[in-house]
Amino acid sequence: MSKSEVTPAGRKALSAVLCLGVGLTALSAAAPALAQEQEAAEETRTMQTVTITATKREQTLQDVPIAVSVVDDTTIERAAIVDLNDLQSIIPSLRVGQLQSSANTNFVIRGFGNGANNAGIEPSVGVFIDGVYRSRSASQISDLPNIERVEVLRGPQSTLFGKNASAGVISVVTKKPQYEFGGVVDGTISNENGYRANGYVTGPLAENLAGAVGVTYNKRDGYVEDIGTGTETNERNRWGIRGDLLFEPDVNTSFRLMADYDQIDELCCAAANVVNGPTGAIVQAIGGQIVPEDPYSYRVAYNLPSTNKVDNGGLSLQADFDFEKVRLTSITAYRMSRLETNQDSDFTGADLLGENSNKTDIDTFTQEFRLTSTDGERLDWMVGGFYFDEKVDIQNALLYGTDYRAYANALAGGLNPNTGVITDILAGLESALGLPVGTTLAQAGQGFRDDAGQDNTAWSLFGTVDYRLTDRLTATIGLNYTEDKKDARNSIQATDVLSSLDFVAIGFAQTMAGFGVNAQNPAQVAAFAQANPAAFAAIQAAVQNPAQNPLLALQPLQFLPPFLGFPNAVEDGRSKDSATTYTLRLAYDVNDNLNTYVSYATGFKATSWNLSRDSRPFASDFIPGSPVTSPPSSPIRDAGLALPNLTTGSRYAGPEDSTVFEVGLKGVYSNVAFNLAYFDQTIEGFQSNVFTGTGFALANAGKQSNKGLEFDVTWNPISNLQLMVAGTLQDPVYDSFPNSASGDLSGEKVYGIPEVATSTAATYFFDVAGWDAYVRGDWQYESAVDHFDSDAEQAAFGEQKKVNTFNASTGFTNESGLGVTLWVRNVFNDEYITTAFPAVAQAGSYMGYPVAPRSYGVTLRKTF
């Protein structure tokens, strides 16, 4: 069976959901009669009306004809959701992955998402907090203070949001300051010595002026023991403060000024050894510790702790002016993000990589203007403009450690398995090349130091028009025009002498010297070739043959080949993209309880530059090869920019263009509400960023698609019980991806995206001695998926990812506002690897990030 086929389990689940959709329609038709019979006795069954602002105007969730999930503050409290990472447990279409640092968080909606591990890549899933765009994951993961709701919009949303929403949007809305004094304070004690405190207070400051202040503090020991350094990693150590002023000089004018600052200073994140390949024995032979093939012991062995420090802050001003039949909104914002990390990226107790540090500074200014109609007649419209100006500065260092030379000698065949003695093979090479012996090749401190950056300016005009053709039928047209310009740069100081050696040229020089020819003298070489053409051709072939040139056996040790910086004479480091995207939709109200819609929308994301040490010239600009092989002409070679062992890859990934066709059905009745949507979504040129073991390969997938069904149902079968089930059934496929890092993936299933993902929850409400109480349980399920798109790598890794996680909580609140919540996440210690990858410079070994084990705690809360 090819990877693109839906499995029997997927077909069975798909059939079940189709039956569920039919059943819900029948249930919806019967619900009014049921409600009339029991309306007086069971008023508490009435479904709560949820108001959202995803469409830039207030509407109820059921009235919005788009695929959107909403999590309000009550659900956040009851489900013990602390930050955006936890949202995926109740929104099946959303996946959130935290990778090697606290700042590397990736958001995926309907299988589409990227943006981690490279500051040049903006995410395909846009995150907005109070209307302000957060351009990188480091500025998105703060603990959630004073949240009112979180709205997750699925599919491209460029006609509603001005910046990068090709796959979807996460919109976080916080509570406005109030003119009555009030607030909440809560404290949590949890396992692993966890302590969390939050406080929020609001009230009047003067006539027409209200203010609010929120603070968060979150500290917890690490749940992973690092037996190499004696520390605990995967800890929590973060805090934040947020101030909010609301000034309303009259009923038609309001100003909201918000300022925030938060800091993360943690040891994170541990990658465990899942497959211990042949290099594991070498690591141990040179004195390095490994905890082999036991990822769920939550024990690792590193030689240095992985530090993370992230500082985020910003200031925004939203101004709203109500005129006759129209509202003018202006949102002006400045954001800054400062990231400093240093990771033990070989993930062993050996000092192979002594430093993998990153310092990234991002400064962002955004300005948005919107005009929104307010007359409520047959025509509703919104038009807006968005401006984005961002500066990114990056400094990286990837340097070898003190054990690297011994490791390189062992990889080169210098390890005696019987005695454990390692012969210094590189010393012989140094001597043969006339280099200082013992101090030249594979030395601690050698590697890469790079200085990269990007200046990005963009602007867009966008808007939507809703026209009620009849009292029940509404047509929507939305447009967005975007221009995006980037000036990128990257320069690297490469000091790895071993990786700079051209072993073909060296072998050629040594062979020619035997004939008395100086290979550095073109005239002597030409004369020899003319006099001895057959012999010269044989020499050229021999130096490229590992059987005849033993130096070629050392090529696998050249992990950090020389880097060609840009801009240069061939590559200008500039990109300029523009696109027009649109939304077309028809929405029909079947009756007051049931509506349906059909829509077609397009989205766009501009070019993303590879601002990392893995940035390499395109194959169209350079043809690798030793001068000995007489490689064909290419622009970089013709410009005199060729370097020994220079390899090709990508400087950037071109724009993403997304389309989605969607049909939806929404219903709300006295005791049941449901949403059902079929989607067929495609991204042309999806910006794929895949770790290969020594770096990241950034490339455009020709075409990636996903189609399926999404559903969510909330049902109150009795007045005290609420049931919820939500799910996504999908079939993600690489329609065309001939040049991936794993070869031609065209027609293959996209790895890491489950065919079936569901979230189920039950909440029961009751009274205990005058206290309002509840007990809640939820279950997150994802069908098994591969960790790699390469069949060979997946076979070597073996384990698939399958999620089967339960969470539970219970809470009690009295009339004075005092409450207590007891909660457990991952009740049964579900075990799976969230993300897997080839071990760095350790062929045959694989690492992975194990899911967090069971956590539990108690929260005390006082509302006033």
**pLDDT value at position 477?**
95
* Angstrom distance (rounded) from CA 788 to CA 749: 10
167-174: average pLDDT: 87
Q: Which residues pair with 339 in a beta bridge?
A: 310, 360
**pLDDT value at position 340?**
93
731-749: average pLDDT: 88
**pLDDT value at position 166?**
79
Is 297 in a helix, a strand, or coil? helix
Output the six-digit token pair for 601.
């929308």
Cβ neighbours for 3, distance < 8 A, ≥ 6 positions apart: 733, 747, 748, 749
Q: Which residues pair with 388 in a beta bridge?
A: 366, 458
Q: Tell me: the pLDDT tens digits for 413-439?
A: 899 988 889 999 999 999 989 999 999
Q: How many CB atoms lie within 10 A of CB 497?
A: 15
Pairing of strands 299-300, 224-226: parallel
Of residues 691 and 624, which shows the higher confidence score? Answer: 624
Answer yes or no: are the C-beta atoms of 732 and 753 closer than 8 Å: yes
Q: Tell me: the pLDDT tens digits for 251-293?
A: 999 999 999 999 999 999 999 999 999 999 999 999 999 999 9
**pLDDT value at position 69?**
84
Report the chain's terminal Cα–Cα distance, integer Å: 60
**pLDDT value at position 671?**
92
**pLDDT value at position 781?**
94
DSSP 413: I
Angle between helices 533-542 and 522-531 (to 10 degrees): 120
Q: How buried is 524 (Cβ within 10 angstroms: 0-12 exposed, 13-18 middle, 19+ buried)?
A: middle
**pLDDT value at position 570?**
97
Q: Which residues pair with 112 in a beta bridge?
A: 109
Is 813 in a helix, a strand, or coil? strand
In degrees, to the nearest 5, what angle opens at C-alpha 644 toward C-alphas 641 and 649? 75
**pLDDT value at position 579?**
93
Residue 168's pLDDT band (boundaries 50, 70, 90)? confident
Residue 482's closest CA among 133, 737, 172, 52?
133
Q: Cis link prior to 269 (omega < 30° from 0)?
A: yes
Q: How buried is 369 (Cβ within 10 angstroms: 0-12 exposed, 13-18 middle, 19+ buried)?
A: middle
- Say how many residues make up the chain: 864
- The 3-state DSSP composition of the chain as helix, strand, coil percent (nearest 5) reads 15, 50, 35
Residue 143's closest CA among 36, 223, 74, 216?
216
Q: Tell me: the pLDDT tens digits for 467-492?
A: 999 999 999 999 999 999 999 999 98
* Angstrom distance (rounded) from CA 408 to CA 52: 58
* Angstrom distance (rounded) from CA 762 to CA 617: 54
Answer yes or no: are the C-beta atoms of 347 and 847 closer than 8 Å: yes
Residue type at 533 in one-letter notation: P
Q: Tell me: the pLDDT tens digits for 80-92?
A: 887 777 788 888 8
**pLDDT value at position 163?**
74
* Angstrom distance (rounded) from CA 89 to CA 194: 21
- On the question of pLDDT at 67 being above 90, the answer is no
Three-state SS string over 431-462 comes to HHHCCCCCCCCCCCCCEEEEEEEEEEEEEEEE
Residue 78 phi/psi, 5° resolution?
-70, -35
Three-state SS string over 332-388 comes to EEEEEEEEEEECCCCCCCCCCEEEEEEEEEEEEEEEEEEEEECCCCCEEEEEEEEEE
Answer yes or no: are the C-beta atoms of 142 and 128 closer than 8 Å: no
Angle between helices 533-542 and 503-514 (to 10 degrees): 140
Residue 131's closest CA among 169, 100, 171, 72?
171
Answer yes or no: are the C-beta atoms of 733 and 705 closer than 8 Å: yes
**Within 13 A of 593's CA, how many CA atoms are on the CB side?**
20
Percent of the chain at pLDDT above 90?
68
617-627: average pLDDT: 91
Three-state SS string over 564-625 comes to CCECCCCCCCEEEEEEEEEEEEEEEECCCCEEEEEEEEEEEECCEECCCCCCCCCCCCCCCC
- On the question of pLDDT at 816 being above 80, the answer is yes
Cα 110 to Cα 13, 608, 706, distances in angstroms: 17, 21, 7
Helix residue spans in 169-299 (DSSP H): 279-285
Q: Tell me: the pLDDT tens digits for 626-669?
A: 888 878 899 999 999 999 999 998 999 999 899 999 999 999 99
CA dihedral sign of residues 161, 163, 169, 174: negative
Range with the poorest average pLDDT among 150-164, 219-233, 503-517, 813-827 = 150-164
* Angstrom distance (rounded) from CA 95 to CA 112: 9
Residue 155's pLDDT band (boundaries 50, 70, 90)? confident
**pLDDT value at position 52?**
66
Residue 3's pLDDT band (boundaries 50, 70, 90)? very low
DSSP states of 16-55 as a string?
Answer: HHHHHHHHHHHHHHHHHHHHHHHTTT-GGGSPPP-EE-TT
Q: Which residues pair with 7 in a beta bridge?
A: none
- On the question of pLDDT at 162 being above 80, the answer is no
DSSP states of 622-684 as a string?
Answer: -----GGG-PPP-HHHHTT---TT-----SEE--EEEEEEEEEEEEE-SSEEEEEEEEEEEEE
Range with the poorest average pLDDT among 191-205, 494-508, 741-755, 772-786 = 741-755
483-508: average pLDDT: 94
Residue type at 526 in one-letter notation: A
Domains identified in the chain and CATH numbers: 8-402+444-461+471-498+563-615+650-863 (2.40.170.20), 502-557 (no CATH)
144-154: average pLDDT: 83
**Mean pLDDT of the chain, nearest integer:** 88
Residue 581 backbone zone (phi > 0: left; psi -120 to 50: alpha; other: beta):
beta
**pLDDT value at position 694?**
62
Residue type at 813 in one-letter notation: T
**pLDDT value at position 116?**
61
- On the question of pLDDT at 115 being above 80, the answer is no
Residue type at 370 in one-letter notation: R
For residue 706, the Cα-to-chain-centroid distance in whole angstroms is 18
Place of tokens 């949202």: 87
Answer yes or no: are the C-beta atoms of 839 and 274 closer than 8 Å: no
Output the six-digit token pair for 329.
């909104």
Answer yes or no: are the C-beta atoms of 152 and 94 closer than 8 Å: yes
Residue 732 phi/psi, 5° resolution?
-80, 135
Residue 158's closest CA among 70, 66, 84?
66
Q: Tell me: the pLDDT tens digits for 5-55?
A: 444 444 434 333 333 333 333 333 333 333 333 333 333 334 555 666 766
Q: Tell me: the pLDDT tens digits for 653-664?
A: 999 899 999 999
**pLDDT value at position 697?**
76
Is 549 in a helix, a strand, or coil? coil
Answer yes or no: are the C-beta atoms of 588 and 475 closer than 8 Å: no
Output the six-digit token pair for 202.
């609001």
**pLDDT value at position 687?**
86
Q: How buried is 679 (Cβ within 10 angstroms: 0-12 exposed, 13-18 middle, 19+ buried)?
A: buried
Output the six-digit token pair for 151.
């709205």
551-565: average pLDDT: 91
* Angstrom distance (rounded) from CA 119 to CA 102: 14
Output the six-digit token pair for 472.
């029940």
Of residues 258 and 742, which shows the higher confidence score? Answer: 258
**Within 13 A of 420's CA, how many CA atoms are on the CB side?**
6
Residue 672's closest CA among 709, 711, 720, 722?
722
Q: Convert 585-609 to b/e letters by CB count within 10 Å (16 or more is b).
A: bebebeeebbbbbebebbbbbbbbb
Q: How buried is 185 (Cβ within 10 angstroms: 0-12 exposed, 13-18 middle, 19+ buried)?
A: middle
- Among 32-36, 103-107, 555-559, the range with the most confident prediction by mean pLDDT is 555-559
- On the question of pLDDT at 516 being above 60, the answer is yes
